[in-house]
Amino acid sequence: MNQVIDLLKNHRSIRKFKPESVSNEKVHTIIEAAGWAATSNFIQAYTVIRVKNKETRKQIAALAGPQPWVELSPLFLVFCADLKRAQTACHYENKEMVPGYTEQFIISTVDVALAAQNAMIAAESLGLGGVYIGGIRNDPETVCKLLKIPDHVYPVFGMCLGYPDENQEQKPRLPVRMILNSEYYQEDNTDLEKYNEICKDYYQTRTNFSREDTWTRQISIMMSNPARPHMKAFLKKRGFEFK
């Protein structure tokens, strides 16, 4: 193919890092690359917080899982959906932002996700590896207090980055045939059983046969249980209502 596609297809989550720090120049380059992601209506509705304080990291690591790599990774970033800057732009032009619309929530959440993926790809192109930390949403109120995050901003996920000190196998992804539809939505589960077997083999190989799991089993367990039910009230309190 080409180097870009090879890089994208080589992605894997990295949780163990060498002690080598990430230079400020590389951090700047990664965030600059994030800023060139597509953004809805030019809003650029995101802010990235670099967390260095050891005690803060320790607390976030605990509430996120625990996930010790949050505390131990050379670089830890928190990606926030940010409408406060848009509110500031309105005030600058002597206007009032009308907050609380579902579309605003979608725009800001999509914007920060696109920017974060740019950041991850940029980091990997520089020889780094990393992992997303959705676990910060286990207790977003505490994260907001620790990082002094104001209203109209919410932490979407964290990101650990550093030089890999492990060579994780890649989790097999759904085949293109199950993802790509032509002309209209078509649910095609022809390859589902085969994909389950591929995932089962992956876990057995990765864990020396101590774990036997499939994709449908994992997803059924996750989707048949409540998923962070506190998020609706939290988002409303932050100014992300759903009108």
pLDDT digits (tens, 9 = 90+) for 201-212: 999 988 788 888
pLDDT digits (tens, 9 = 90+) for 83-125: 999 999 999 999 999 999 999 999 999 999 999 999 999 999 9
pLDDT digits (tens, 9 = 90+) for 122-178: 999 999 999 999 999 999 999 999 999 999 999 999 999 999 999 888 999 999 999
All domains in the chain, ordered by first residue? 3-168+231-238 (3.40.109.10)
pLDDT above 90 (res 198): yes
Long-range CB pairs of 230-238, under 8 A, 24+ apart, other chains included: 230/140, 231/137, 231/140, 234/140, 234/141, 234/154, 235/105, 235/154, 238/144, 238/151, 238/152, 238/153, 238/154
Average of per-residue pLDDT values in the chain: 96
Do 40 and 110 form a contact (C-beta atoms < 8 A)?
yes
pLDDT above 80 (res 183): yes
**Collapsed DSSP state (helix, strand, coil) of residue 172:** coil
- Nearest-CA neighbor of 15 among 173, 166, 169? 166
The pLDDT value recorded for residue 208 is: 81
